[in-house]
Amino acid sequence: MISASLQQRKSRTRRSMLFVPGANAAMVSNSFIYPADALMFDLEDSVALREKDTARRLVYHALQHPLYRDVETIVRVNALDSEWGINDLEAVVRGGADVVRLPKTDTAQDVTDIEKEILRIEQTCGREPGSTGLLAAIESPLGITRAVEIAHASERLIGIALGAEDYVRNLRTERSPEGTELLFARCSILQAARSAGIQAFDTVYSDANNEAGFLHEASHIKQLGFDGKSLINPRQIELLHNLYAPTLKEVAHARLVVEAAEAAAREGRGRRLPERQNGRQPGD
């Protein structure tokens, strides 16, 4: 069972999820200034082995800062079977993270295992049981083949995300500007997420200085149907939000739909939705 607060938060807007390196004290303490839909503190790949404990402490204290209460906080922990995983989980759940991002999710059992640990920590620290969300990152061919099982593994899941770097390496290829090598994985994650009624998130675009390349990729994943994208540079936030903003035609059509529904309700008749520009009814 999940809490009422998590149930309300599951479908919130998450166009942009900005990675914040957990060992970077300046970024950890000041990232609330960025207008991302979610801030994603990282304790995993961006943190050197010798800095794991320091990063955990920095993130734990940041999570309790009042200025971070106004933005959704996600923390990517190290894998549970690593030497840091349990300590990471203890710190971020006790610290009040809204969502825990599980890396390298290969099976539904991976989700079940971390869910049990989260519940244990919630119960021991006095946090409302079922209030911590989960985000499963799929980063391997094995995980992609089991995406549907993973997406249905827990009520805590707010979504599933693609982690492309490890996935592409396991495919024995490399990333291309066209993203051909990621099409199957993206479609698999999107279909799995939608079948479970949760959100789907795309991988990072690592060339922070290539604005045209970022917009090309972001347009592609928006057209596929993704809810949002992980980001590594604050400059990408506004670009992504502008891309996801409704067009004037979409706004006008939405107003017509509302007006038609209100008119039908007043007149006590069945509603007929206004036609789109192509003459088809929505949902046809």
3-state secondary structure of 51: helix
Q: 76 among the known binding-site residues?
A: yes
The separation between CA 208 and the C-alpha centre of its own chain, rounded to angstroms, equals 19
Give kind and range of the element (H or E) at residue 32: none
Strand partners, 256: none
Q: 9 among the known binding-site residues?
A: no
Cβ distance 204 to 228 under 8 Å? Answer: no
Q: 98 among the known binding-site residues?
A: no
3-state secondary structure of 231: strand
CA distances (Å), 172 to each of 105, 118, 139, 166, 217, in order? 19, 35, 13, 10, 21
Length of the chain: 284
The separation between CA 154 and the C-alpha centre of its own chain, rounded to angstroms, equals 15
What phi and psi, each to the nearest 5 degrees, are found at residue 36? -70, 155
CA-based nearest residue to 200, from 240, 145, 144, 159? 159
Kindly provide the b/e burial profile for residues 66-76, where b requires at least 16 CB atoms within 10 angstroms of the residue's own CB.
Answer: eebeebbbbbb
CA-based nearest residue to 162, from 107, 108, 105? 105
Helices (H), 147-268: 147-151, 164-171, 183-196, 211-224, 235-244, 248-267
Strand partners, 160: 136, 200
**String of DSSP letters for 139-168:** -SHHHHHTHHHHHTS-TTEEEEEE-HHHHH
Radius of gyration of the chain (CA): 20
- Binding site members for substrate: 76, 139
- Please report, in range form, the residues annotated as the binding site for Mg(2+): 139, 166
Q: Residue positions in the annotated binding site?
A: 76, 139, 166
